[in-house]
Amino acid sequence: MIKTATHEHIAEAAEILKNGGLVGMPTETVYGLAANALDGKAVAKIFEAKGRPAFNPLIIHVSDMRHAQEYGEMSEYAQILANAFWPGPLTLIVPRKTDSGISDLATAGLDTVALREPSHPVAQGLIKTSGLPIAAPSANKSGSLSPTTPAHVHDSLGDAVDMILAAGACTVGLESTVLDVSGVVPVILRPGAITAEQIGELLGLEIAIAEAENEAPKSPGMLLKHYAPNTPVRLNAIDLEEGEALLAFGSDKFMGIKNGGRAADLPDEMRRNLSEEQDLQEAAANLFSMLKELDQSGASTIAVMAIPQIGIGVAINDRLSRAAKRD
């Protein structure tokens, strides 16, 4: 059931976690499906609820750097990065501490662990009140879009989650940047709001973004077809075919429909704008909800206007190209 994230309900949710249950947890990026990372059975419920392949490792959410150090080896790079970007949308892959107590299922048996301190006050409250490291993938069925509202979580997972803490829409709207700092050179496994430029500037290094792979990827989140609506997605649209829905960025004033008409003539449910002001942050926050809405419009295809490949635009284009990938 969905409950407003008051102090009392956060305390109730903390009890659910301690008793091995699942909680829908708001973070600044997307809603997470939270379980006690120390409890293998609870973590198993996450995989069951999501229908997720068991080899996919989960992000462990912690309250601060010291908490992170209980579970992972925070190298100098890792500490510099955490100091600069935590709390916030950056996940660090670091060597796992052998005596960490984190369930092997949560790390998929890897010798590394993904750690993140979320900035959302409700996520912070839940971690602190429970005193637990919290394993939480995005709170959706595997292969579908990440949820950015409590209703998305409910629609995707229903009663498989014991409680959803509702705190409105997520401000970032895209999953965190995943940065592997377990090797010699840091590599971005998944682009997000913290960009390669920001990380590179801080460390004085050129930061590479790993290529998405189709098979046996290092980060299973890199699977090409991962963020997929049911409706086909067409990228970099400059005009519309009949029957297509439009996901605009900036003005759609000059968008024409082939065989006549303008985008402005489309029925409301076939037309969304990520950001009329061409604000990339706003676009990121709107991306998943608008894709979901257009997915339900009955359109033959979702045509998406070009998004500039700068800043968080890199992460938006990463998610869009996955959504467009058909098998």
Mask 83-122, x = binds Mg ion (CB under 5 A)?
----------------------------------------
Segment lying near Mg ion (by CB under 5 A), choices 136-144, 232-240, 260-268, 282-290: 136-144
Cα-to-chain-centroid distance, residue 325: 18
What secondary structure does DSSP assign to 259-317, as a single string? TS-BGGGS-GGGEEES-TT--HHHHHHHHHHHHHHHHTTT-SEEEE----SSTTHHHHH
Question: Strands of 271-273's sheet, edge to edge?
Answer: 233-234, 301-304, 244-248, 271-273
For ligand TXA, the binding residues (CB under 6 A) are 27, 29-30, 32, 56-59, 89, 91, 93, 107, 110, 112-114, 116, 118, 136-138, 175-176, 178, 189-190, 218-221
CB of residue 309 to Mg ion, shortest distance in Å = 22
**Which CB atom, from 47 or from 249, has the smaller least distance to ligand TXA?**
47
Q: Which stretch binds Mg ion (CB under 5 A): 131-139, 180-188, 211-219, 289-297?
A: 131-139
- When the beta carbons of 186 and 303 are compared against ligand TXA, the nearer one is 186
CB neighbours (10 Å) of residue 292? 19
Does 138 help bind Mg ion (rule: CB under 5 A)? yes
Where are the alpha helices (H) located in 51-142, listed in sequence order?
Answer: 65-69, 76-85, 121-130
State the minimum distance, in angstroms, from the CB of residue 278 to Mg ion.
27
Closest CA to 43 of 90, 104, 91: 104
| Residue 146 CB, nearest approach to ligand TXA (Å) | 6
Residues 272, 246 contacting (CB under 8 angstroms): yes
Amino acid at 310: I
Secondary structure of residue 273 in the 3-state scheme: strand
> Could you say whether residue 275 binds Mg ion (CB under 5 A)?
no
Cα–Cα distance measured from residue 286 to residue 250, given in angstroms and rounded to the nearest whole number: 13
Shortest Cβ distance from residue 265 to ligand TXA (Å)?
A: 37
- Determine the residue with CB nearest ligand TXA: 221
Which of ligand TXA, Mg ion, none interacts with 87 (beta carbon under 5 to 8 A by kind)? Answer: none
Binding-site ranges for Mg ion (CB under 5 A): 138
